[in-house]
Structure 1
Amino acid sequence: MDAHGASLPGSADLSPTALGRLARPLERALGTVVSFFAAVLVVSEVVILGAGVTARYVLHTPLIWSDELASILFLWLSMLGAVIALQRGEHMRMTGLVTRVPPRAQALLEAVAITASIAFLLMILPHALEYAQEENFIVTPALEISNAWRAAALPVGIGLMLAVALLRLVRFGSWKPVFAAAALTALVIALFWLAGPALKPLGKLNLLVFFVGVVALNVFSGVPIAFSFALATFGYLALTTSTPLLVMVGRLDEGMSHLILLAVPLFIFLGALIEMTGMARAMIQFLASLLGHVRGGLSYVLIGAMYLVSGISGSKVADMAAIAPVLFPEMRQRGAKPGDLVALLSATGAQTETIPPSIVLITIGSVTGVSIAALFTGGMLPAVVLGVALCFVVWWRYRGEDLSHVARQPKRVMTKLALIAAPAIALPFVIRAAVVEGVATATEVSTIGIAYAVLAGLLIYRQFDWRRLPKMLVETASLTGAIIFIIGAATAMAWGLTQSGFSRDLAQAMASVPGGHWGFLGISIVAFVVLGSVLEGIPAMVLFGPLVFPIAKAVGIHEVHYAMVVIFAMGIGLFAPPFGVGYYGACAISKINPDEGLKYIWGYMLALLLGLLVVAAVPWFSIGFLKT
């Protein structure tokens, strides 16, 4: 198993048969071709968005087609990246059960991880082809080309993933578990299909069957998270509704095409550049000189760094991608456990959800009518409260850390390190200033960071290894594909929940809870922790914001205060395993097995929950600085 905990089977025990030997060069050749085009797409996105910023702000002649072209290429990048991730075994999956069963059962579960993925790809491929054909009649507004050029990325990507998965199955170490897994997968699908007429009358109980039962069964069996979500959604729509499955492809497309997500690959690439150019080393040396002699010092730096950069990109995954590669190597050298690192990174993701310019805050303002300026003002201090709660956990865990080998740096050395690190430390402020001053959007601003890092590496730090660029570009594409494919599958699942009427029923149930505004706050925390574990912040707020905010106002809760409470509750659900998508995003960014973080994350989640209760109980933290 690789560091991601996502290794698909066949990597440890490759088939020595002639068929297996034939599959290996085919898989390698396919991977090389896909990696080349994916790397070209990453470079293209940087160039296109950078050109858009330059044309609009420097030349004062905006390129009306740049965002549209970037969006088209982004879907292709995400799908090709998902293909690379499947080939490299980098799709997120939980392997806690898989690694604890006897070898024979483990081989079977590993094979099931592939056959279940193949089953979904086979079932969705015809609908993806139909979707691309339907999009052929739509003309894009700026480029005036058929939207099929963009939509074709879905069937092409799904077809390539299917080819890669089949090749990995051929390379499996033994045919016996492969045939057993294929038979088991086919049997389960057949049983569900035969049970379809009995499932339809169950109504909303099917939500438990598919979105709890099927998801849990797949996740704990080691099926990649994205495919677990997708299989449950496909089954629910196909067997219990009359919805055309073409719609599911559309929801996958919608989830993977949100323009703000373009920041993900660009910030992942920026993080790699920061490390390669020596900016990371300069920054770490300075930060270590300040807090290195303090027990758990770099963990405090991680909490503070996420607070500083959070919201700049509009994507929490992109924020983590900018921080983790900088801090984690030094923290590992100081003895920090990988599981603790990814657990703290996940916790800071939830802690900083309310830092402006948060896209979730903007979404709440747009769908509920609450002042976005008030939300921005109210979001700063509650994040500090939760940050302090995390610092207590860090203090407790590292109170016995041996720092006898770490000497406190003299002021002269600290000053020198500060001067060296100044260009690197300035980067987050340059990026934030570009957003605030309107130079670039939250999506485009990462290109400014990339340009800044390239110039700093070439001119200031004199460290730029051109030979590493191809590998960095492919890794960026792979990580992007793994993350965005999960988000697409989660968006489709969220749509399925919405169509069931679940959102309306939930709002009515919450309104009937006794206890006035305290009872409503309590049930809101519970509900949004659960919702956060299956929905991204933006879909959840679009679905439930207009329903629950009027109820909060009616029971006497300030809208800004309520917004902070539900955002943090949703953040805790989003970054808490086993269902929280954000947790797997943190694992993907960190290249750490999801299982390793389970031991450590609950302490941080408890601290966040206690911090949330403080924020909920003391409205001043949210509204104390608002203009009356």
Structure 2
Amino acid sequence: MAAADEILPLVADSDAPRAGSRFMRPVEALAAALLMVVVLQLLANALSRYLLHLPIIWGDEVASIAFIWLAMLGSLVAIDRNEHLRLTLFVRAMPERLQRFVDTLALLLVAAFLLALAYPAYDYASEESFITLPALGIAGSFRAAALPVGICGMAALAVAHAVRRSKLADILISLAIVAAALGAMWLAAPALIKAGNVTILLFLVGFVAACLVAGVPIAFCFGIGTICYLAFSTHVPLLVMIGRMDEGMSSLVLLSVPVFVLLGCVLDHTGMGKAIVDFLASLLGHVKAGMSYVLLGSLFVVSGISGSKVSDMATVAPALFPEMKRRGHKPKEMIALLATGAAMADTVPPSIVLIVLGSVAGVSIAALFTSGFVVAMVLLLALAVLARFKARHEDMAGVTRAPGKLILKTMLVAAPALLLPFFIRGAVSSGAATATEVSTFAVVYALIVGMVLYGGISLRTFYGMLVETAALTGAILVILACAVAMAWAITQAGIANDLAAFMGALPGGAWGFLAVSILVFLVLGCILEGLPAIVLMAPLMYPIARKLGINDIHYSMVIVTAMNIGLMTPPIGIGFYLACKIGQVSPDEALSAIWPYLVALFAGLLVIAAVPWISIGML
């Protein structure tokens, strides 16, 4: 899937010992059960509305309660498995002894942040007891109680990890550093409050950057900066931060995220993705650059099912890399094409990034899906032209056109899988169903087709998929929660107005703003990955774009494409390292090969930015 998009754990320390595995089994089981509740409730609500024309009035409330508990329990599982997304580039460059100390400090910073939120979260849940859910007739605290439970659980696991993995001296020194920092900020609080918006640079830039360098998970980097800013340089109670975090995780549009993540798991485990790859290989494999076209085409089509870059790459690479090597493709070139192909396909529906963007920016998801498909076609063309140029000396000895019978056979095998992305795009783009409803129908369809035609899924495997989806959902939603809280703090400080004034004064008007936006999201894509960058910046940038007369959909396509290019740009881009790990190629080896492909994507981005019709002409 991040992330996230994707948002995914391969850059985290996923091989480290788990702190609470024995005690986490009931939590994993409950998270898996809640995911099933969400899927079944969404399916029941959709079927009741379409077949009986009778919506289940309490359905949204049940789904909302299950979703917030799924998010918090999933985040617990992600902490236990070390699957919260973080930047490890700087930590891994440190001497081994220093790495261990910095890891300990990062864990205790996370624990301190969570403990600081524990009482406000309890207070928030208590306040929600005065609110009655209208359909179910129960107190809102049944839902809000997930926040203190999840926060306290994550704090306990962070401490358990530190105790299990760290030396006593490292723990004591880290505690002393955290205590000294808190004491210094407490003493400086009166001066910090008088300093005004200057403290934004200290807390929401300096602290966040320092935590990123130290390998603190990205979600908690945002959270630490925000809570320090609110606690020591404003009079805003921390209860408000909990409210903003709840808001960030509570949009019903986001219900489709775990369902599409689960769909990606089904795709991987049933072999539906491989069937698509085999069909495209039989169709195009005999021409020069044919396997490169197959790789790009597979990423394009498969992305329309899974919505996850990592799921796409993990499906395509093992199926195509052996034949590509036989034809003389260098491993570093294959990784470069894999990484940039995944970036290209990230706007293909049902992109999780587009779903989240639609939620936080108030943009039509159906319009984003339609536009994203066209934009991906432009980027696909740019990469295909470069791939053909690079394949001019490809060894085609012994390569023959596949017989018509083989093409027909692979097409028939792949047909049920090929129908799925077109169903998803068509249903959402036409307005016949929401992204959330489509995601549930798609999962049921994929499960039935996968079990009947593609080998099936054992109950043990399916349970593992549910737990995996819950963990990734938790990691994604905690990022959203903390990023929304941070964006709110920036907005309340008046920075949004200052930023709007600055951007409005840029030379070139709308075109100057688009150029700056491309630069900003290229950098943020490198550092923060997709979802955090989108959630953090969308509330600030979209009002400015609207004032300058830039269409929401056009602007969305420009920034998402820029962000995806940044995500794959070394030496920091996280997606680049994901591709290297999936393709089992050293990042050092792949580093020199990826630049021409990034240039091709950037050329496509400039065309998309300069020609708004590409983004909005099909709406």
Q: Same fold (TM over 0.5)?
A: yes
State the TM-score bracket (shorter-chain normalisation).
Answer: 0.7 to 0.9
Correspondence for 1:424: 417
CA distance in 1, matches of 2:281, 2:54: 45
Tell me how far apart the structure 1 counterparts of residues 233 and 349 of structure 2 sit (CA, whole Å).
35
Tell me the CA shift for residue 442 of structure 1. 0.6
Judge conservation of contact 2:379–2:604 (CA < 8 Å) in 1: yes
Q: Residue 378 and residue 425 in structure 1: after superposition, are their counterparts in 2 closer, same or farther (change >3 A)?
A: closer
Q: Equivalent residue for 2:548?
A: 551
> Does 2:415 correspond to 1:415?
no
User: TM-score with structure 1 length normalisation?
Assistant: 0.82
Matched, 1:576 2:566: yes
Tell me if 1:330 matches 2:323: no
1:344 aligns with 2:340: yes
Measured in 1, the distance between the counterparts of 2:361 and 2:86 equals 35
What is the distance in 2 between the residues matched to 1:213 and 1:72? 36
Counterparts of 1:363 and 1:590 in 2: how far apart (Å)? Answer: 31
Aligned equivalent of 2:465: 472
Partner SS for 2:152? helix
Q: Is 1:120 aligned to 2:144, yes or no?
A: no
Deviation at residue 418 of structure 1 after TM alignment: 0.8
Asked if the contact 1:4/1:588 (under 8 Å) is kept, the reply is yes
Q: Can you list the C-alpha shifts for 1:272-319, whole angstroms capped at 9, x where unaligned?
A: 222322323322221232344567756645654565577x79xxx945
Which residues in structure 2 correspond to 1:24-423 (within 5 Å)? 27-292=20-285, 300-301=293-294, 303-304=296-297, 318-320=307-309, 323-331=312-320, 333=322, 340=336, 343-344=339-340, 347-348=343-344, 352=348, 381-392=374-385, 408-423=401-416
Structure 2 gap ranges (5+): 1-7, 326-330
Q: Which residue of 1 aligns with 2:13?
A: 7
Shift, 1:258, TM fit: 1.9
Deviation at 1:175, TM superposition (A): 2.1
| 1:230–1:296 distance in 2 versus 1, CA, 3 Å | farther
Q: 2:429 and 2:553 mapped to 1: Cα distance?
A: 23
* Structure 1 Cα separation of the partners of residues 202 and 607 of structure 2: 36
Residues 108-133 of structure 1: CA distance to partner in whole angstroms, max 9, x if unpaired? 01212211111111111111111111
Cα distance change on mapping 1:231 and 1:573 into 2, 3 Å: same
3-state SS in 2 of match to 1:452? helix
Contact 1:342-1:590 at 8 Å conserved across structures: no
SS class of match (1:7): coil
Letter in 2 for 1:323: D
SS, match of residue 435 in structure 2: coil
Give the equivalent residue in structure 1 for 2:481. Answer: 488
Partner of 2:452: 459
2:605 to 612, 616, 624: 612
Return the letter of the residue paired with 1:348.
M
- Residues 232-291 of structure 1 deviation map (CA, whole Å, 9 limit, x = unaligned): 111111122221111111111111222222222111211222232232332222123234
Q: Tell me by how many angstroms 1:459 deviates.
A: 2.6
Q: Distance in 2 between matches of 1:468 and 1:374?
A: 36
Tell me the SS of whatever aligns to 2:133. coil
Residues 75-98 of structure 1: per-residue CA shift (max 9 Å, x gap): 111111111111111111111122
The CA deviation at 1:423 is 0.8
Alpha carbons 1:4, 1:594 under 8 Å: kept:
no
Give the secondary-structure state (helix, strand or coil) at the position aligned to 1:283.
Answer: helix
For 1:284, give the aligned amino acid: V
Give the distance between the partners of 1:472 and 1:292, measured in 2 at CA: 32
Q: Percent same amino acid at aligned positions?
A: 42
Pick closer, same or farther for the CA change 1:271–1:9 going to 2, 3 Å: closer
Distance 1:325 1:394 in 2: 21
Q: Deviations over 1:403-455 (max 9, x none)?
A: 76976533321211111111111111223343356553211211111111122
> What count of residue pairs does the alignment treat as equivalent?
597
Query: For the Cα contact (< 8 Å) 2:9–2:85, is it kept in 1?
Result: no
Asked whether the equivalents of residues 3 and 591 of structure 1 are also in contact (C-alpha less than 8 Å), the reply is no
Q: Answer with 331-340 or 167-176: which moved more.
A: 331-340
Letter in 2 for 1:149: F
Give the AA of the match of 1:116: L
Alpha-carbon separation, structure 1, partners of 2:191 and 2:569 = 28
How far apart, in 1, do the equivalents of 2:464 and 2:365 lie?
Answer: 41
User: Are the counterparts in 2 of residues 350 and 574 from structure 1 also a CA contact under 8 Å?
Assistant: yes
Please give the alpha-carbon distance, in whole angstroms, between the structure 2 residues aligned to 1:133 and 1:343.
Answer: 47
CA-CA distance at 1:565 after TM superposition: 4.2
- Cα distance in 2 between the residues matched to 1:104 and 1:365: 44
Counterpart Cα distance in 2 of 1:418 and 1:131: 55
Q: 1:143 to 1:299 in 2, by over 3 A?
A: farther
Whether contact under 8 Å (2:486, 2:536) holds in the other structure is no
Change (3 A) 1:494 1:482: same
Assess, with a 3 A threshold, how the Cα gap between structure 1 residues 577 and 426 changes in structure 2: closer, same or farther: closer
Note closer, same or farther for the CA distance 1:281–1:494 as it changes in structure 2 (3 Å cut).
Answer: same
Query: Secondary structure of 1:242's match?
Result: coil
Q: Which amino acid aligns with 2:67?
A: F
- Structure 1 pair 10–416 and aligned structure 2 pair: CA distance change class (3 A): closer
When residues 322 and 28 of structure 1 are mapped into structure 2, their CA distance, relative to the original with a 3 A threshold, is closer
CA contact (8 A) 1:278 1:463 kept: no
Query: Does the 8 Å contact 1:342/1:586 carry over to 2?
Result: no
Deviation at 1:595, TM superposition (A): 11
User: Following the alignment from structure 2 to structure 1, what is the Cα–Cα distance between the partners of residues 393 and 481?
Assistant: 43
SS across alignment from 2:89: coil
SS in 1 for 2:211: helix
3-state SS of 1:144 partner: coil
Q: Distance in 1 between matches of 2:244 and 2:252?
A: 15
Give the deviation of 1:62 after TM superposition.
1.4
**TM-score, normalization by structure 2:** 0.83
The one-character-per-residue Cα deviations of 1:553-582 (angstroms, maximum 9, x if unpaired) are xxxxxx44x7514541354237635999x9
Supply the distance in 2 between the matched residues of 1:399 and 1:119 (Cα, whole angstroms): 57
SS at match of 1:444: helix
| Further displaced range: 386-395 or 491-500 | 386-395
